[in-house]
Amino acid sequence: MTALLALPEGLFALLAASRRLLFRHGLLRSRKLPVPVVVIGNINVGGVGKTPLTLALLQAFAARGVKVGVISRGYGGSHQQPTVVGSDTPASLVGDEPLLLAGAGAPVVVGRNRVAAGELLLRHHPEVELLLSDDGLQHYAMQRALEIVVIDGERGLGNGHLLPAGPLREPAARLASVDAVVINGEHRTALDWPPQLPLFRQRLLPGTFQHLAGSQPPRQAADFAGMKVVAMAGIGNPERFFATLRGLGLVLQRTIALPDHHDFVTTDIPDDADAVIVTSKDAVKLQCVNHARLWFLPVTAQLEPDLAGWILSRLKEFHGR
């Protein structure tokens, strides 16, 4: 199978490298937004923990009085033009992650063209001083001040091969040109990091279980004892979520792993469970279901050392040149 995939992998590598070179040498045009852009991205496919990281940075910047906005591709949304995300915007239009980020109180705009999304956000919110791009590492049409790559500590870079032979969008050598790497979770894979590359650690800390309909008080894991509990997740790495639930002491009758950005319908909710537990990201798409047995588990990203402070320091250094 590896030999059969070698040719398409080589073609993918050639196309990715060629496109980046064309932007680097000005043969394809890139544009600069009026405020600094910090990309929170990844070089591999699948969920790596970018959204909790972005939420943690929004909170840290707000505590410092820095006005920040978020631009995103809005994967899973049907939007055709840059779209402002509000608390009542349907997830089917803008995607699940942007809706979750907008719930944190930051202005959010989605768009296939990140520069156009950034321009729209700044027109609506001229007070914004800094833009975080949720994903967009490979969107070279948008110039950026800093690139931060998130890597799942457990899965690392997989087999090290590019699509379709492996999970990588860009080769591991791309890490030599980014500004920092965030390792999400326990680091269980051996990776040869560039020696000068700043590394940050991210841990996801679970909170209390919240009732999706809001008609019951928050619960701890012990409150589900003796109940038939089903865990359901439509995220990039559902097994991480299931392992978190088990680690909290929940006994799961079964787990249901769905594709990332899955568009939930009422029939997805199992009828044979006393409680169905989902992620925060999935919860924003299940508000229309408002099922009495639905619960979600919020998580908070803890970063060491202080990534927000490091970003502000680098941007100050960048503008001081």
List residues forming the annotated binding site for ATP: 44-51
State residue 312 phi and psi, 5-degree precision.
Answer: -65, -35
Report phi then psi at 102, rounded to 5.
-65, -30
Annotated binding site: 44-51
Task: Please list, in sequence order, all residues whose beta carbon lies within 8 angstroms of the beta carbon of residue 216, skipping any fewer than 6 positions away.
Answer: none
Three-class secondary structure assignment of 122-177: HHHCCCCCEEEEECCCCCCCECCCEEEEEEECCCCCCCCCECCCCCECCCHHHHHH
Partners of residue 279 on adjacent β-strands: 297
Question: In 3-state terms, what secondary structure has residue 312?
Answer: helix
| String of DSSP letters for 223-284 | GGTTS-EEEEE-SS-HHHHHHHHHHTT--EEEEEE--TT----GGGS-TT-SEEEEEHHHHT
